[in-house]
Structure 1
């Protein structure tokens, strides 16, 4: 059976999508509509979403559930009590990766689940060729831009909240890649990436060997491995050769990025309680990369940015929102100066 005929069997199925990421909603909307499904609702999972369900003829609910969010648990209970519409609990994290083949396989599997749950038992899920499914011109344009500007976001205690506010203010077409070095336990790396990805138009993902770094990427540095960007812009993960009290070592991350990208790098030091980063910013500054810090009053603990400010190398200090606006201004000016 051809893919087109299979898609005709799905045509007209009415789907409601609930996911926090506007970028993921846009991707799902475009692929679903091109596959013949009707998207009746497409918005964050909320009381408002649940209230709209009875007023729309819906065959399948597609929910991206944040297991760490207590509000989502109460919303799920309310949803289960209020409707008997079949629910697919969806993991949209694969959409963060710049891998059309992997995304196509994922979309094909998802279509298979929708076919099964709506009684299309003879339907076989193909791997969808995303080359024929244009997913957002802005995303495609951004995907073609290999990373030339790379900034390190360094954070410790209080950092996740500060970084969330920072990332939420950045535009989807940011002409830079961001490397997040956050002190945390190794089991929290995927969860942190997932939570941050929900609140920003950028793509947040754990570091993976072989991923080509592109503008718009936000890479979460692993705790137990050393992240390097090789000469052609591909991520490599190496064994930690230098012991560090803090993991990941912010000093190492900033130093490595500064050596690799020179004046096309930069570092922003957010909330934290240690001096990790001081050696790194000295190395990056020597290579021509600017150093910025979160201002003390907006930090949970300001010791880490304070220590960096004490070096005299921080050229700008602000709140997370001000730092985001400054980064956009800085990158825009660099584009104008260097093309």
Structure 2
């Protein structure tokens, strides 16, 4: 009798990079994983009731394997490794959720909004992971250029975690990650389920998912508010992170929208610092201007000055 649910993973062809990601995520979700190659059919554990066939070489004959699994009444899940190897960010997260749902329908295919309100994800203390402060970076039109200048001012060893919420469409997500990573100081990574948060890192929030930081310092994703007007939504991320971490700070960059004003208000009223990019250094300063008019901005300056302010106030 297996202590934990066991999933068999059979590699059809060479072991692929996406398979290792899948194995790590299965273990994080409480499953044991037993791996086999197509040459190890005789060694397959007949007690395993779910098998994932990770297909990379479609020319191999699977008849004997399928017959064996069918005789054992096993649930067979086919995965095209050529496709999953290319997935990134929110697409990879969704692929993972679909796989988990096929293993057991009790695994939500779309996490509920309340997923971020569990005991494991509320009031998480990131100081145990070397992170002294968290800054949400909200931006819209003109944001990428400003964010790149801002991130370039850091050394990369500061005890700060950045969460980037940049308005964009889904087709630009990968491009945005690569563009912001050109700062060469702060590692910019698109949020991915199971990834560990680190000081000196910037997490790029996906378009179609919100993020959660669990007490073990690893990221999870949850479904977004379906009524949001912007993708991703700055206000929603602020609310989620305040529930998740109790206290966060916010830097507002160039942008023309109302999204971010309620989020900044929530951050300010919960004791966080709010700073803004100056009008003369913005492409459009509508969001920052509204926050300044509400007397919530504790510092106003260009991206370089904003970075210097944060470095001077890390403690």
TM-score category, normalised to shorter length: 0.5 to 0.7
The question of 1:231 aligning with 2:215 is answered: yes
Matching residue of 2:303: 320
Written as runs of structure 1 = structure 2, the 5 A alignment for 1:171-210 is 171-210=155-194
The question of 1:271 aligning with 2:259 is answered: no
Count, aligned residues: 189
- Normalised to the residue count of structure 2, the TM-score between the two structures is 0.57
- Normalised to the residue count of structure 1, the TM-score between the two structures is 0.53
Alpha-carbon displacement from aligned partner over 1:20-60 (angstroms, at most 9, x marks no partner): xxxxxxxxxxxxxxxxxxxxxxxxxxxxxxxxxxxxxxxxx
**Structure 1 residue 242 displacement after superposition:** 4.3
Matching residue of 1:285: 268
Q: Gaps (5+ residues) in structure 2?
A: 1-87, 89-127
Q: Which has the higher contact order (CA 8 A, sep 6+)?
A: 2
8 Å Cα contact 2:166/2:232 also seen in 1: yes
Q: 1:175 to 1:146 in 2, by over 3 A?
A: closer
Q: Secondary structure of 1:210's partner?
A: coil
Structure 1 stretch 191-200 or stretch 300-309: which is displaced more? 191-200
CA distance in 2, matches of 1:241, 1:184: 16
CA distance in 2, matches of 1:260, 1:312: 26
**Structure 1 residue 324 displacement after superposition:** 0.6
Q: Secondary structure of 2:238's partner?
A: helix
CA distance in 2, matches of 1:311, 1:242: 28
Q: Gaps (5+ residues) in structure 1?
A: 1-93, 95-143, 335-339
8 Å Cα contact 1:262/1:288 also seen in 2: no
8 Å Cα contact 2:130/2:159 also seen in 1: no
Q: Which has the higher helix share?
A: 1
